[in-house]
């Protein structure tokens, strides 16, 4: 998968607008790309035995193209772009944790959703970041085709790169529809992944404090 700096598209909306873009049809895809994607969806419908011309499916290709553009909008974004100038000089040096951040992503193996919560912490080293930027960074990487393991690492790596903190910790707890509605069909399974950098990796007490706060006292074992 390409890195942030290898994506040529730029974020088409203002990251300070909490409501996000007003129209999911707009510029996540170029018109030619969107038309091609709609035609591919139309062909898929025919291949599975459906009639793309029946009333209920006439607008399905357009809707799917819009949906995929929205669900993969992270390809048009970077961590640097969503954080912007929201880094502020500050002497605070204790842990900052935002927990229970909703995560929605698409498994790259089956294009089925996985979803859950992210717990993100960092140890400031001369700067703090606007709190809303941590969930935004999670979304930059979640709104791509992913596996949970890489998603966890990419969030941690981006925060380490942009914030340059003393340490970063990320835990994801997710349920995967590719395990729930197909395959082994295990409805109550949950996958937990973690990534720790800097002080969180080197110092067991700091790492344990992060995991205790992130998981509410629950063990990861």
List active site positions. 107-110, 148, 176, 178
Structural contact between residues 68 and 110, judged by C-beta atoms closer than 8 angstroms: no
CB 158 within 8 A of CB 83: no
Partners of 120 in beta bridges: 98, 170
- Please answer whether residues 171 and 211 qualify as being in contact, where contact means their C-beta atoms are separated by less than 8 angstroms: yes
Q: Which two tokens stand for residue 147?
A: 């596996």
Which pair of tokens denotes residue 198?
A: 């800097």
43, 158, 165, 168, 176 from 5: Cα distances, Å: 34, 12, 21, 21, 29
> In what side-by-side order are the strands of the sheet with 191-198?
145-146, 96-107, 113-123, 167-176, 191-198
Length of the chain: 221
């Amino acid at each position: 998968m390409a890195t942030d700096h290898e994506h040529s598209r730029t974020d088409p909306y203002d990251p300070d607008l909490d409501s996000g873009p007003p129209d999911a049809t707009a510029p996540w895809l170029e018109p030619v790309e969107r038309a091609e994607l709609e035609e591919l969806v139309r062909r898929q419908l025919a291949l599975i035995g459906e009639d793309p011309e029946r009333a209920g499916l006439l607008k399905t290709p357009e809707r799917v193209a819009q949906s995929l553009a929205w669900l993969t909008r992270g390809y048009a974004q970077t961590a640097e772009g969503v954080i912007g100038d929201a880094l502020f000089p500050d002497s605070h040096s204790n842990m900052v944790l935002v927990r229970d951040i909703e995560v929605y992503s698409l498994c790259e193996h089956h294009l089925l959703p996985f979803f859950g919560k992210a717990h993100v912490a960092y140890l400031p080293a001369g700067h703090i970041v606007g709190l809303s930027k941590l969930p935004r960074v999670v979304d930059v990487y979640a709104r791509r085709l992913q596996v949970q393991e890489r998603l966890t690492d990419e969030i941690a790596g981006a925060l380490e790169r942009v914030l340059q903190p003393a340490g970063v910790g990320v835990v994801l707890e997710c349920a995967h529809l590719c395990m729930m509605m197909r395959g082994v069909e295990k409805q109550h399974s949950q996958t937990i992944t973690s990534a720790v950098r800097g002080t969180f990796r080197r110092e067991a007490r700091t790492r344990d404090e992060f995991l205790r706060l992130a998981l509410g006292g629950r063990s990861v074992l």
